[in-house]
Each structure stands twice: as C-alpha cells, then as structure tokens.
C-alpha cells in the first residue's frame, strides 16, 4: 500500500531508465533480474526470516547473505549464497540465472549495496515509536549513500497483534517520514501479523511449503500465514516490475 508520492518530478527519468534497461536486457538475452534488499538495524525484527520466506514465494530467486552476524545456513533455505567480503552483488546478477535476488543485508551500510541498483529497499520494524524512528533514521542514511536510480522503499511492520496496533504504527510512520530527511520515489508499508508459524518453521527448519504440507491440521492452521506471504510476494513483484 502506497504511503506517499511526493516525487513526481522523477517519473520521466525513471520511466526512461526502465525502458532502456528492458530493451538492453532483451537485446542481449539477459534476465531482467530484480534486486530486493532487506535491512534490519536491530536484532529481533525478523529480517532474515522475512528474506527466507519472501525468497521462497518469489519464482527463481536466490538469497545473498551479507549479514556478518547471521549465518544463512541457520535457516532452512536452499536458495542462499553466503557472499564473501570480496564478492560483488553484480557477480551473481551477471550469472543470468535468477529473476529475483533477495539481499539479506544486515544493519550496516555495505559499500556493495550502495553501488548496486536496488529495485526495492525493505526495512522491517516493530510497531512502537522508538523502533520506527530508529528504522527511518537508519534508512535515511542508507538511501542517501545509494547510487540507485530508482528508490522504492517498503516498511514492514513485523509481528503486529491487532489492526488497531498496525493502523497506529502506520500513522506514526507517516509522521516520522514527514519530519525526516528521508528521500525516496515511493514509500509502501506491509503488515505481518504475529503467528506461531514463524517459530515453528524456524525451530523445525521448514519452508512455508513444507510446513503447510506437514499435516492437514497444519495446512488449515497456517493458511492465513501462507496467504500473508503470498500477498507480500505479490506486492513486491508489482512494485519492482512496474
């Protein structure tokens, strides 16, 4: 869901950039690979979990783990590449194997990210004022250093418990964005409701698909959780493809 759209002056430039990129890729038989960076600035916001579940829902995707403090192998993901300090994101992109690259980027300003065209920045946060403020402040720095032509930003309110809590968080986010120096082309938000499915999937090292197919009861119990990430993947694809 779009929050703000105050940067219409860039629309012509962005449209031209996208058209040229698509023509170039088509002419040389390259995939129009989209890069999605997920960044968490404090532990416990669910960054790596969201990265894994989102990558599972995106067709032909891979996770690049840039988080120095998180071993991607701790998660059940057959899509993960632990990128060494000397490897560049473009090296994976240029392999022409993937449609989506999900970067699990940690909470630091990695030079490799700033030099890469990021199609969507995702910043998970909790719903309280302090968490949202810290996330927006950190996101401001990341975006200022980014060389991306197009800067789309999605804030994910992770593990909210009620619609009232989510709506309140959205209003807080709007207020903080309007008072901050953050600059982007479009802002979006998405809510991931609290669910026991997350803990179960992590503890059992299961993908969403494996969790859903583990039993008839599980298929029913975790249906809304599965649908939630289907919807997130749909939103992400709409943003990066349009």
pLDDT in tens, 162-186: 999 999 999 999 999 999 988 888 8
Q: Domain 2-241 is of which CATH architecture?
A: 3-Layer(aba) Sandwich (3.40)
pLDDT at position 80, please? 81
Residue 152 parent element (H or E): strand 152-160
CA distance to 87, 173, 221, per residue, from 216 (Å):
43, 39, 9
**Domain boundaries of the chain, sorted by first residue:** 2-241
d(CA 180, CA 42): 20
Dist. CA 103–CA 38, nearest whole Å: 6
Q: Which of 82-91, 118-127, 169-178 has the lowest mean pLDDT?
A: 82-91
Which tokens is 44 given? 């416990």
pTM for the whole thing? 0.85
pLDDT digits (tens, 9 = 90+) for 1-51: 454 444 333 333 444 434 444 444 444 445 679 999 999 877 777 888 999
Which of 186, 202, 131, 188 lies closest to 160, judged by CA? 131
pLDDT digits (tens, 9 = 90+) for 200-232: 988 888 889 999 999 999 999 999 999 999 999
């Amino acid at each position: 869901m779009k929050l703000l759209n105050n940067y219409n002056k860039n629309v012509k430039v962005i449209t031209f950039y996208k058209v040229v990129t698509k023509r170039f890729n088509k002419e040389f038989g390259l995939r129009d690979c989209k890069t999605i960076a997920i960044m968490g600035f404090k532990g416990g916001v669910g960054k790596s979990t969201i990265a894994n579940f989102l990558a599972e829902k995106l067709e032909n995707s891979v996770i690049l783990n840039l988080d120095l403090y998180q071993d991607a192998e701790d998660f059940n993901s057959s899509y993960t590449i632990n990128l060494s300090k000397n490897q560049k994101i473009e090296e994976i992109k240029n392999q022409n194997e993937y449609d989506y690259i999900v970067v699990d980027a940690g909470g630091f300003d990695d030079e490799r990210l700033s030099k890469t065209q990021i199609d969507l920045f995702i910043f998970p946060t909790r719903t309280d004022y302090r968490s949202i403020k810290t996330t927006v402040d950190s996101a401001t720095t990341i975006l200022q250093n980014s060389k991306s032509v197009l800067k789309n930003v999605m804030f994910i309110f992770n593990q909210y418990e009620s619609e009232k809590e989510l709506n309140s968080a959205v209003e807080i986010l709007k207020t903080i964005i309007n008072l901050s120096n953050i600059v982007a082309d479009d802002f979006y938000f998405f809510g991931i409701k609290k669910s026991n499915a997350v803990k179960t999937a992590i503890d059992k090292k299961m993908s969403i698909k494996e969790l859903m197919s583990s039993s008839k009861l599980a298929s029913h119990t975790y249906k809304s959780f599965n649908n939630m990430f289907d919807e997130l993947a749909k939103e992400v694809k709409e943003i990066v493809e349009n």
